[in-house]
Amino acid sequence: MSAEIAEVQLQVRFITKQEQYAVPDSPYAIQSNVQSSDLNTLINALLKETNPSIEKTVEFDFLTCGELLCTSLAEHLQDKGVSTEDTLEIEYLERFPAPAPQDCLMHDDWVSTVHAHSNWILSGCYDNSIHIWSTKGQHKLAIPGHTSPVKAVSWVSFNGDQAVFASGSHDQSAMLWVWNVPRNSVDCVVTCRGHEKGVECLAVSADANRFATGSWDNNVCLWSTSLSDEDNVPAKKRSKPEHGNTREPLTTLKGHREAVSGVQWMDFNTVLSSGWDHLLKLWDCELGGIKQELAGNKAFFDVDWSPLNNSIITASADRHIRLYDPRSTDSIVKTTFTSHTGWVQSVRWSKTRDTLFLSAGYDGQVKLWETRSPRTPLYDLSGHEDKVLCCDWSNPALLVSGSSDNTLRIFKAKHYEST
């Protein structure tokens, strides 16, 4: 069948949203066995005719039938079950170069968690410490306080010269910290206690008023981020002053049957959690109950949700990444992305582009994906020498990843800054 298709002539029309690269939209006749490289040559030739001011050769990606072209056009159409008799629309968009390695930040132990915001990066380490770095690679602070590996960190708020962040550890506690930026000093203001086993994951709500933690005790706890002691904890119940006041959870969400591996806020009243029990749960924070449950076929190691596209991505024990549409009434898994050769440990959506996400795996790879290219990542960001345990995006375009090789790596991707 593919041999027959390979010899067919196709009518195609080229379209682009990038006006500076537009070519006449009349149909062209091409052979169906062309690849992306052939289409690149053709588009560049057409551009030279119609727009002589473009002197350099531009590299393009090609989108047809909703997916990026990674094979010959014939195979792509056959795979999609599309007729070769109709005029085919092919959208082309400029292909950006791979993100470039910028810094390698050394730690004393495994880097288990990272959260980037604006010019600052938080990292958590298996030696119980938290670190603050600038996105230019400058080490600002090493922060002791936890008594077991730090598995989750997140910025809460930035207000002038003061930044607030949260951390969660296998010591069963979460802590709220205040960083005085000009003085470069940190205080633990609140210690949150309510989990009976280690804290594995943590996420702050969009309004920065609450945060959620997930634990090996199978529970999700919700906490206030307020720095004042609104809980009126009696003085005798307070822990040592250097660890601030002790706080109990606002709510405990019970329902997972195994460890909670990931938490994310979807809106002010909805928390999404992933578990080793193969389940994703959407929680109603006011009622404390489950709104929706999605079943997977393997343990979930991480989950992320994008407000830009209302979609969920998951990292799993079977090396596949899955995209879920929680609003869908038919097949919940919309797309499966397969390229990692080991467990996928971490997934993160881009904050600015609704089709880009990062993944990090036990195979030592960080991969940058386009949702319209499920079979092939856009780029492999190599450099780590062991398992990659966490990844994140800094707005607008820094990619960060932490590994059991004791390093945090920063990649610069300036082309992904805007939509």
Question: What are the residue boundaries of the structural domains of the chain, listed by start?
Answer: 2-94, 100-416
Q: Tell how strand 289-295 and strand 279-284 pair up.
A: antiparallel
Looking at 3.10.20.90, 3.40.630.30, 3.40.50.360, 3.40.50.150, the CATH number of the domain 2-94 comes to 3.10.20.90
Are the C-beta atoms of 336 and 298 separated by less than 8 Å?
A: no
User: Which pLDDT does position 382 carry in this prediction?
Assistant: 85
Spell out the per-residue pLDDT of the chain, length 419, in tens: 444 555 789 999 999 999 999 999 899 999 989 999 999 999 999 999 988 888 889 999 999 998 999 899 999 999 888 888 889 999 999 988 889 999 999 999 999 999 999 899 999 999 999 999 999 999 999 999 999 999 999 999 999 899 999 999 999 999 999 999 999 999 999 999 999 999 999 999 999 999 999 999 999 999 999 998 654 444 444 445 556 799 999 999 999 999 999 999 999 999 999 999 999 999 999 999 999 999 998 999 999 999 999 999 999 999 999 999 988 876 689 999 999 999 999 999 999 889 999 999 999 999 999 999 998 999 999 899 999 999 999 876 899 999 999 999 999 986 655 44
How open is the CA angle 181-183-184, to the nearest 5 degrees?
Answer: 60
CATH T-level fold of 100-416: Methylamine Dehydrogenase; Chain H (2.130.10)
Q: What are the Cα distances from residue 311, in Å, to 46, 63, 234, 272, 335?
A: 37, 21, 44, 12, 11
Verify cis geometry, omega within 30 degrees of 0, for the bond prior to 149: no
User: Which pLDDT does position 397 carry in this prediction?
Assistant: 80
Residues 259, 303, 213, 165: is their CA dihedral positive or negative?
A: positive
Q: What are the Cα distances from residue 313, in Å, to 114, 171, 256, 262, 324?
A: 18, 28, 19, 11, 6
Helices (H), 356-397: none
User: Which pLDDT does position 236 carry in this prediction?
Assistant: 43
Helix (H, G, I), strand (E, B) or coil at 43: helix
Structure pTM? Answer: 0.89
Question: Distance between CA atoms of 103 and 348, rounded to whole angstroms?
Answer: 20
Sheet strands (E) in 139-193: 139-143, 150-159, 162-169, 173-180, 185-193
Tokens of 389: 């345990």
Are the C-beta atoms of 224 and 209 separated by less than 8 Å?
A: yes
